[in-house]
Structure 1
């Protein structure tokens, strides 16, 4: 049935309509996820901070270049897109191969309740998720992503599936529940270095007007509204259970916590307000104080006109004015070596030409290479109404315009990243060798089946563009494919490289997924650009 997802911003509402066939599943008893050790692409062991850097257990600098995969915060209580024809593992494969080394996972406290059930899952495509609770599905995603060298940031996005809140608590979800649930998650994933930290509460923001401001403030000293103080209470409680986690703290919208009001009570002093969660202008004066040192990461949000027409987009000096705005709201924390920055959300449909300029300037502002600011793009999901996603509506095809802007700034996880930059030229067999292949049937049904073919280039040079072929017996035909353009002529199937990753480097692998009509069959005579596997 139709679901509507809403995320509010200052002066605007971000809405997304999610349409899916929803089936209620029976939740099984929760079991802890196994520990997974992250690989070198995102560092070794747990992460901590050093000035404005995020570093791993060896002291090496790590740059988080991730993506948001939402849904666990909605009525579905699990990742969106599980209703599609693209299996969940293949979606993570694609994220990793494109260069996203971290998943930021939004959730609501409703998804953590005993007896919570996940819905909107295509059980033909994802039979291994049937009957699992939301937390058990999260366990599976963490385990698989960790095996690819990716990291996970958990994001308390909403108190309930019904919508966001200005404060970290509501009449139905107390501050103590918020903290207790965080401590439960910290215990659940203790020892699992794939899970690196807690984004405490999504987009604290202003409500009301002075003198009766009721929204989240920063540094105002009112315990029920001061987000800085609440972040300290929750962050320190989590670190008391799991001292190795990073604590990600977002900003507010208006430091006083009220719309169109002032910081110091002087009506002549107009307050500087920005995006929900995006205003960290008071964090330098009123820093978050954690009991475990080197665990604090500030995490602003930043959006473009497709979310809301902020005044600075129409300024005469746009886009030259943008770096100064970012400096004022949050960039100074990084530039002054106070703390790392990890932009937790940013995105746009790019429908307005200004938004493309904004995204290009924003990425340049974060810097290049491992020493740049960290980020998680919003979002993988195509069903975010204000931004769209990196995935298009089939949850398989990629928005190449967005990906091309982000690609130079992505640092891939080990085992899942993009191949070396294409050099052009005709398709040719891999020099000095061939390929290896692993095939598995992932699902079967009457009259059809689904499979994954993983091909590794064992030659002496990159193959550009790559092309995999195989044979099937009579009566077996391709129905759909992903991670490649899959076609069939007679008994021969061809999987051609997608435009976003045309090159398959030495030692690199590609997993081609497909559904087929006919009796369950194993591909034969598999070849990479004509070289037999």
Structure 2
């Protein structure tokens, strides 16, 4: 079925890169996380029609879409109106435990070849002192590129307990690119001026590269391979089909080949596969028709444990359909459309479903009735979902946000302090979205998907839910059924000990060292606190863990994850010789941001 075009505002957004720390908290904006899960243990898998964590605990993905990376702005929309840290925090505080982030193949291609797209200004006043996304600007005052922006968004999501997956919304960066129904057949001009044809091979290559690049960060838990495969509407040369052929437009084969390539790089990633528009004479919403799975399921070489099918479903305000032309009920919707199109996959316990897009404007009538029926059906049947969408510049649906404002006040110390205020559509959120967010039954605490980090200010982590709530009150799934679960122990970045002739002495339980200038090794990798041969965020995290919990992580720790003598010497990068402090963790992050050219700090 044809869906109305979603227009988006052609505005300029922000780009950024920042890092987060671990307890205890530091004052700098880029180091405000009190606990960051660096364990890489939050990957999910499927069994039957449900999703589980590594210990077999059931999870429920209840999220929303935030588009813009797929557009010519190469940035989530409304970063021009709000601070990214404030916005992600507010998203988490409202119970969104996963974000679906539309991107384009063009965007990933430019990342892959090392020439990411730029994004526009993020400071509406063109004033470096204006407290708006200040941690998203490089030391020279320039805005970082689209890949750096994506990295900071992942870091912010990790900080507040939100997971993400990307969706290939279109072959080229295009604000209306969703109208084109195939994953190949478009071209774009590369940043070097050369024309790049998006073939099936290029589409697969970029996704496999992305899976490999981010396989060490379980904030990015999966990949929606192609948004809404559909008919020739929108300029495609042929319809997307679903069968067992080798035809180039066979979506089932393309999805299987792409899944194989991604899982070869990251076997833990979820693979989300949408349907098509038509199958054997039966029509559906774009991306909504999964009738073909019954005859021709996608079967990756490694098995189907990572496969999630992801139809889209909309109401009559987007486009009226025959199944709405009656006094429809849940039963009539199932009989007329839902069951044979996608609901059978869960009813028969075959595969998990994630409704990748649902939503729409409030009309006081049929569209709201449909919203309520789908909401309740997803809750009753444990169907994952991501609401379309957060930002309100989707032409035919609107969003959960009405507007975003940024204000500035003067603090007691005389410095200017900024704050983002997001005006949510209260009726849409509270009536249709909030009931379908995963939360505890009686205390109504939002449940995150990160084992260690709580979801927003009033939410809880997955460990907290299974340790303290699952057996006592349960959640809003399965009628409040109570269950047992097994928590996942924190497992910080592992360390290895390098052999050296240098000696260090521990001066306190808080992991401090004394090093003379004569003892500085010429081949020392300063900043490498975990001795893994590279300097990255994990090194700053380990320093903070050692300072916060020296018995576990410090020089006198009792397990295999403590900081070593060699690691402590590497970590002493600020005020060299005074032992490791929070300033060393800050200096490493400043170095990674490009604000320091080398370590140690001179």
Shorter-normalised TM range:
0.5 to 0.7
Structure 1 equivalent of residue 122 of structure 2: 121
Return the offset for 1:133: 1.4
For the pair 1:343 / 2:355, whether they are aligned, the reply is yes
Structure 2 equivalent of residue 382 of structure 1: 392
Change (3 A) 1:338 1:39: farther
Q: Secondary structure at the match of 2:87?
A: helix
Kept after mapping to 1: 8 A contact 2:167/2:225:
yes
Structure 1 equivalent of residue 185 of structure 2: 170
Give the distance between the partners of 1:376 and 1:316, measured in 2 at CA: 27
Structure 2 counterparts to residues 223-372 of structure 1, below 5 A: 223-255=247-279, 263=280, 271-293=281-303, 294-317=305-328, 320-324=331-335, 325-351=337-363, 353-368=365-380, 372=382
Residue segments in structure 2 that go unaligned for 5+ positions in a row: 23-32, 125-129, 138-142, 188-197, 406-421, 439-445, 449-453, 461-602
Return the offset for 1:110: 2.5
Residue segments in structure 1 that go unaligned for 5+ positions in a row: 1-9, 256-262, 264-270, 421-533
1:46 to 31, 43, 47: 43
Return the offset for 1:119: 2.4
Q: Secondary structure at the match of 1:393?
A: strand
RMSD: 2.9
Q: Which stretch has the larger CA shift, 222-231 or 50-59?
A: 222-231
Normalising to structure 2: TM-score of the pair? Answer: 0.60
Return the offset for 1:222: 4.2
2:77 to 74, 77, 80: 80
Change (3 A) 1:129 1:304: same
Q: Secondary structure at the match of 1:323?
A: helix
Return the offset for 1:171: 4.2
Return the offset for 1:61: 0.4
Structure 1 equivalent of residue 159 of structure 2: 147
Q: How many residues align?
A: 386
Return the offset for 1:175: 1.0
Give the distance between the partners of 1:99 and 1:375, measured in 2 at CA: 13
Kept after mapping to 1: 8 A contact 2:160/2:456:
yes
The structure having more radius of gyration, on CA atoms, is: 2
Structure 2 equivalent of residue 416 of structure 1: 456
1:162-205 Cα shifts (integer Å, max 9, x gaps): 31321110142111111111112112211211111110010000
- The structure carrying a bigger strand percent of its residues is 1
Return the offset for 1:111: 2.2
Give the distance between the partners of 1:111 and 1:146, measured in 2 at CA: 22
Kept after mapping to 2: 8 A contact 1:99/1:416:
yes
Change (3 A) 1:378 1:338: same
Structure 2 equivalent of residue 204 of structure 1: 229
Return the offset for 1:377: 0.5
Return the offset for 1:220: 5.3
Return the offset for 1:363: 0.9
Q: Secondary structure at the match of 1:198?
A: strand
Kept after mapping to 2: 8 A contact 1:32/1:188:
no
- The structure carrying a bigger helix percent of its residues is 2
For the pair 1:71 / 2:72, whether they are aligned, the reply is no
Give the distance between the partners of 1:23 and 1:204, measured in 2 at CA: 28
Normalising to structure 1: TM-score of the pair? Answer: 0.67
